[in-house]
A and B are shown apart, each in its own frame.
Chain A
Amino acid sequence: MSTQSDNQTAAAGNRSSGWVVFVFFMIGLVASIISGWVAFPKLLYSTKQQPIDFNHQVHLEQMGGQCNACHFFREDGSFSGSPTLEECKSCHMYPMTGNENEQKFIDEYVNQDKEVPWLIYAEQPPCVFFSHAAHVKGADMQCATCHGDIGHSTSLREYQENRISGYSRDIWGKSMLRLGEAEHGRRQKMNDCAECHLKETGSKGNCFQCHK
């Protein structure tokens, strides 16, 4: 008899401890999800502001809708990237408007003859060779295809930097799981390049096509 009642109490105890385990499991799960989906991405990326809030739309209108007015190809085939102070100065030697960002640019950079330390969203690692000429001239691609519609933005968004690798978050894409379309143009990891090359040219290309 005594053994039977012992068994009953043990079974009841097991049932109640099952609930306790479940509750603690759920608490742990929720905590993990919050830390993994909310806290960890914040920990992984540091957020930086551009030195000057640049208005692409205003400039694009002034320059006749041409990206290559400021982002041009040099004669040797290389791509100029972000304009240098010299190029900005050709218009902005003195204030042209009452804009506070322009004033800041002139006070802090033009007058002090200092290059603007722009943070490049699409900056690639030093082992990568990317040819703008092959894509823009050779394959006749639009800037917006990869860079998104940055030309019509009125303000520069914040720059997020991977704390471990030091690369821009745009390279990997906003979604950590790489779901859906990238928010700003295209993702620019090696596999993203290879995927597009396979689709467009029928081959991922050889290593040296993009590496140096």
Chain B
Amino acid sequence: MTQQPQHTKTKRYGMVIDLDKCTGCGACMVACYAENNVPFRQDESDKMRSLNWIRVMKVDNGKPFPDTQVCYIPMPCMQCDGQHMQGHSPCVSVCPAVATDYDQTTGIVSQIYTRCFGCRYCMAACPYHARKFNWWDPKWPADMEKYLNPDVSARMRGVVEKCSFCYHRYQKARDKAYVEGREELHEDEYQTACAQACPTNAITFGDLHNPEHSVYSRSRSKTAFRLLERLNTNPKVYYLSSKSWVRRKADNYLEGENFEQIREKARKAAATH
């Protein structure tokens, strides 16, 4: 090798989910199951045992009819940057097997199934319950194995799995760019399955550092917030909501607290170098 490979500019892939647009249909979950070979069981009634890389949570404002309002919150892995954006994500810092790491070039937190030995420290550390444990070997109904995605390795019993922001799609998009002699990816070349499946376009995905990507301005909007911001996990999944009570639900704020102010302070603290 004579030529040094050129390093691409650091990316910070993230997601912006507009909760005003989300209808809670669950298309993102279905797309994710199909894309990432997420196993399911015959009896999925016990949701505590369900494996999913993105799940739609439901919250309401706690008021009786006719003032009841409901909001659905799709929750993938938050791909935490950690404080000072140095990749000190809760899960990465506790893994004793180095089975999960923070990719400095994309900001995506990996999970390597062949490395994981299933201690589940990461699950305990993750404040978003984004990680799931394979209690059983995955089993697909007859013929469904032929529909598995070859770009995503299937997991085995005893390992933890989680959303990867469809990293295999990033790899494929990069391959195409290499063959065409390009360095940079277009916004539409790398999109997650959930973002593409969303019928109301509530989920948008892109590089939070790139002003040409829609998530750049959306994540900086006044109604943008993240979940549990006071923990300084610095998630890369932003939510938008015009409703104040939804934004209040994002963290465990006390009744008298001015949560918008606290949120702003936490955000500044997390970004300070």
Contacts and interface: CB of A to CB of B under 8 A. Distances in A.
Q: Do A and B bind each other?
A: yes
Interface of A: 73, 75-78, 125-127, 129, 131-134, 137-141, 145, 200-201, 206-209, 211-212
Interface in B65-87: none
B103 A206 contact: yes
Q: Which of B7, B168, B176 has the most CB of A within 10 A?
A: B176
B20 to A, nearest CB: 33
A127 B1 contact: no
Contacts of B110: 206-208, 211
Given A127-B113, A207-B101, A212-B168, A141 B175 contact: no
B199 to A, nearest CB: 26
20 contacts: A75-B179, A76-B172, A76-B175, A77-B172, A77-B177, A126-B153, A127-B113, A129-B171, A131-B171, A131-B178, A137-B178, A137-B181, A138-B178, A141-B1, A200-B4, A206-B102, A208-B171, A211-B153, A212-B153, A212-B168
Interface of B: 1-7, 99-105, 108, 110, 112-115, 151-154, 164, 167-168, 171-181
Contacts of B104: 206
A36 B99 CA distance: 33
B101 A206 contact: yes
Contact of B153 (A73, A127, A139, A140): A127
Q: Which of A75, A134, A212 has the most CB of B within 10 A?
A: A212
A134 B108 CA distance: 19
A201 B153 contact: no
Nearest to A134: B178
Contacts of B172: 76-78
Nearest to B177: A77
Contact of A201 (B2, B5, B174): B5
Nearest to A73: B179
Contacts of A211: 110, 112, 114, 153
Interface of B: prevailing SS: loop
Contacts of A126: 153-154
Contact of B175 (A127, A134, A201, A208): A134
Contacts of A131: 171, 174-175, 178
Given A201-B5, A207-B115, 10 more contacts: A129-B171, A132-B175, A133-B179, A138-B5, A139-B1, A141-B1, A201-B4, A206-B110, A212-B168, A212-B171
A208 B108 contact: yes
A76 B105 CA distance: 23
Instruction: Identify the 9 closest CB pairs spanning chains A and B, nearest first.
Output: A77-B175, A77-B176, A133-B178, A206-B103, A133-B175, A208-B110, A207-B110, A137-B178, A127-B153
Contacts of B176: 75-77, 133
A129 B177 CA distance: 16
Contacts of B151: 129, 212
Nearest to B3: A140
A202 B5 CA distance: 10
A212 B103 contact: no
Given A77-B177, A207-B110, A212-B168, A139 B102 contact: no
A180 B164 CA distance: 38
A76 B251 CA distance: 43
A55 B154 CA distance: 37
Contacts of A138: 5-6, 178
Nearest to A138: B178
B52 to A, nearest CB: 19
B260 to A, nearest CB: 36
